[in-house]
Structure 1
């Protein structure tokens, strides 16, 4: 399953911003996978922190093989040592079991969070051990498919903005200008900025000053 969007969102962004319109027309539809299972999405993000995507997927596949299904009950049954044996750090195993315990006891409401506003959902998710604001924002986008997520803390988003709009630096005030411009479809703008940052339009380059060696 991919993040769902269509002409309504892209037409809105294209009318709002000429350069974004050029980017959208040039790149076409962007397909980014989503995982709508909130429990597994949180676990997957914790596993992936500060390691490569390949390493993350290796550990995730081991986890699926070992547990069969990744949910609060199977995680708690496995315990920290079993999770750690799959290749993750002790701390990550602790974070995941703590999350599972909160879900199991009802301290964290997996269903109720879907009814929360973006701000409330980010606040609740980032209260979990191992989940910061950026990770919470990514969960909103790639799990809950919220429409208006543009993360100021995402370095690739900042790079994409510099490349598209020829800025040397994106400070908070400038970022907020773009966030307001792209709202309520910041998530779709994010998809295109990530694509640009990753080289989808080869002639665009990063205007950030080169660091002196």
Structure 2
């Protein structure tokens, strides 16, 4: 389970997030919507323990912000997969190397690294680009690499920060198809987006709205 209890993170000039309460269970698919600067990315960073709350508590599985130790970070990262808005790929490396990196960081045996990476590339439709440098991929293909890297370690939750933000319509549909497939395996997904049409097309998923750092009831 992932839970935020009365979480407040305050930046300068009264910006940040305030009194956020949120619970995410296994297999949930939630949208986190709001305008730019509303607090979406801050909430994602808090769940990933990249930003600790000034007030309140964050829990991810057995880890809490109250008792956080930097030595816990490698274990938390196995529970939380993150898709960044700007991909954050190693552009000079190939697709296989980028996806395998998450496994190697977690000291997965080499044989398993190859097996799991190739399986993940097959799932996102990138086997034919396995040894192509990321700098030569389209935006949609780069997003697939980012997704594969985030979920190859089979995290409890996937945090997606505007994963369709810079994509054309067809690429957006393909990314949503992949995310839904991952979700059906039991991975919880929290997807930040400002696209109202995308939310309307997926009304079976819960939409959590945030405005000026506060969740709108």
TM-score (norm 2): 0.29
Of the two, which has the highest radius of gyration? Answer: 1
* TM-score under structure 1 length normalisation: 0.30
**Higher relative contact order, structure no. (Cα contacts within 8 Å, ≥ 6 residues apart):** 2
